[in-house]
């Protein structure tokens, strides 16, 4: 079994780096596990534990559904939290609405469905996970920082490929090994 997800790799630019640095320094004494900027990605589908014999079929189906579908650009805009500001669990950077991204997500989800893989039935909310909150002493500091970047354009991201990753969990943080890269 391998822990699998399908994503768009995001190379952090100067502004994303500055936003994350600002969040980290403003929340330095909080219990937040920050995502390494080397691991920043936009998840299209999380499959979780997957039989190794299924991975080749998934790769083949993703190539069939996504290859040559067309390059496009994403805009990272704003910051926020999941669950909510009263009970925050995840700090994220948002992705501006994009018809091309919506179509790509549909291709991925539909292709997985064709292989018999059923994903959680929840709406696609494109975002980049910046940090996971374990505990928070100063919610006001978080609220001020989230508000500071609430609607800021952070970075434009060229999207040229979709990547099937294996996620290896370590105490020092997750390692994401690309299994298959699919050119758009």
Q: Residues 18-45: pLDDT tens digits? A: 999 999 999 999 999 999 999 999 999 9
* CATH number reported for the structural domain that contains residue 95 in this entry: 3.90.1140.10
Q: How far, in Å, CA of 81 to CA of 85, rounded?
A: 7
pLDDT at 120: 81
Structural domain for 56, as ranges: 2-183
- The domain total for the chain is 1
Q: Residues 68-104: pLDDT tens digits? A: 999 999 999 999 999 998 999 999 999 999 999 999 9
Q: Which residues are catalytic?
A: 41, 127
- Taking the model in full, what pTM does it have? 0.93
């Amino acid at each position: 079994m391998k822990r699998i997800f399908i994503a768009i790799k995001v190379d952090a630019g100067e502004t994303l780096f500055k936003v994350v640095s600002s969040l980290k320094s403003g929340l330095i004494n909080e219990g937040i596990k920050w995502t390494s900027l080397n691991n920043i990605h936009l998840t299209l589908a999380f499959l979780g534990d997957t039989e190794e014999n299924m991975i080749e079929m998934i790769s083949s189906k993703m190539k069939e559904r996504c290859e040559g579908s067309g390059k496009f650009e994403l805009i990272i805009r704003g910051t926020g939290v999941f669950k909510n500001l009263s009970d925050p669990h995840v700090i994220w950077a948002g992705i501006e609405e994009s018809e091309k991204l919506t179509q790509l997500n549909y291709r991925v989800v539909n292709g997985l469905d064709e292989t018999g893989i059923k994903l959680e039935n929840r709406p696609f909310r494109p975002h980049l996970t910046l940090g996971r909150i374990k505990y928070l002493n100063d919610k006001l500091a978080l609220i001020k920082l989230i508000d500071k970047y609430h609607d800021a354009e952070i970075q434009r991201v060229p999207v040229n490929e979709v990547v099937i990753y294996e996620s290896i969990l370590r105490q020092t943080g997750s390692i994401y090994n690309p299994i298959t890269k699919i050119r758009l």
